[in-house]
Amino acid sequence: MEAAALRVGGEVALAANGAHAGSSGEPSPKPRTRSDVRIQKAHDAAHAALTAVSSYLDADEDLPAFFLRLGEAIAEQVGAAKVAFWVLGPRGALTVQPSPFGFGETSPIHEMRLEIEAGGERVMEKVVFRDDLQLGRGTSVELDDFWHACGLADVKSSIAVSWRAGERRIGAVVAYHSKRGFSANDVRVLRLAAMATGLVWQYKEAEDELAQTAVRLEETVAARRRLLNNVAAGGDEARRRFASAIHDDSLQLLTGAELQLERIRAEANGSHQAVQLDQLRNTLRKVEDSLRRLLINVSPEALELRRDLKDAIGERLESMRLSSGIETHSDLRLPADVPEVIEGLVMKNVSEALTNVEKHAHATRVIVAAESMDGGIRVQITDDGTGFVVAESEHLLGHPGLLAMRERAQLAGGWCHITSEPGAGAKVEFWVPQSL
């Protein structure tokens, strides 16, 4: 009998289900329970809050406008009339983020400064540092009393969650005034929105820092460009004065001395002093030739008179070969349209390196190679001279050129390496950007 009753009951149940089935014979959807509805509403609210937060990534607005819009969206999802974001300052004080949603311009919330401590037991200290809030009957009584004591006398209900990004405590997100009362789901939605907003806050800070770094970098580049131009202009002015002194003073005096010597030599023709006068004349001519070569090397106009940097380096090498007898070779693959300041810098470093070879290397052969590399110009000057200890040469008097070459390259944003050993020659290599 019991088995029959179960079977009949089963048949009745099937018939009842069939009565509610559609024409396809499929059963009707199961009715949703209150728990299902609450869960779905919580999911919808969380999704809306996350959508509001993520929209800032594509929005072109400042932070106060963003937080006002975000506060409105969160308030709608948790049934609040007001929402405020409280920021924890470096000295442990909470201040409200500008434009809290729902608060008038005269509200005392704008002037509040809430002193809190990480180990404290007051309600906001527990919220910020431990995300701990006791909720009952649609509000947190302890939190409500806290706001009343701070001067927000009209607060009737409130909830708060910790606002953070990872382990960093940014502050707290607080929702005020719910007609229906706040629920645990509202706290969860608020916590989710706070977590997402913390990530956006972190992203915004990183974006601002990157923008500030880019501005500082651009200012640094501009300052370096001005400094390099000033150094080049100052160096050119000094070289111009030096060249003028050689041309207008020393060479003129030498010319006068040679004329006087010629008159004395003519008067002493055939005497035993004629040979000595001839030797003196040859010495004066060597001094004059040396000064004229120096004039060519130091004159800032020398590079301007030549067609390009390649020709300038070529002429400097030819002058070196004629004056010192050193065998010279070059492999110059230089780019076109190099800025004048960079051309001048390259030429000065090449001239400095060749002057060092002439004076100190006792070399028989020197090679200059140049090419485009990594958006700039790389130059190598190699000789087969006696070499030296690089670390020692930087501290010796009479060798400021090595340091000057490094400083010029670094000032332009490049580098300069000097390699040498006693008895193994030397190599000067530097790179400078093609443009400033």
What is the maximal distance between C-alpha atoms in the chain?
Answer: 163
Q: How far is CA 200 from CA 57, 63, 143, 359, in A?
A: 8, 11, 27, 64
Average pLDDT over residues 15-30: 45
CA nearest to 436, candidates 407, 406, 414: 414
Write down the pLDDT at residue 104.
Answer: 92
Q: How far is CA 237 from CA 124, 298, 301, 336, 403, in A?
A: 68, 11, 11, 26, 21
Q: Is the pLDDT of residue 340 over 60?
A: yes
Question: What whole-number distance in Å separates Cα of residue 229 and Cα of residue 235?
Answer: 10
Average pLDDT over residues 308-329: 89
pLDDT tens digits, one per residue of 233-266: 555 556 666 666 665 667 667 777 777 777 777 7
Question: What whole-number distance in Å separates Cα of residue 123 and Cα of residue 135?
Answer: 12
CA nearest to 173, candidates 124, 208, 137: 124
pLDDT tens digits, one per residue of 125-179: 999 999 999 999 999 999 999 999 999 999 999 999 999 888 889 999 999 999 9
Helix H or strand E segment including 90: none
Number of H helices, E strands in the chain: 13, 10
Rounded mean pLDDT of the chain? Answer: 79
Its pTM surpasses 0.75: no
Per-residue pLDDT band for 305 (boundaries 50, 70, 90) equals very low
All domains in the chain, ordered by first residue:
34-211 (3.30.450.40), 307-436 (3.30.565.10)
Write down the pLDDT at residue 6.
Answer: 29
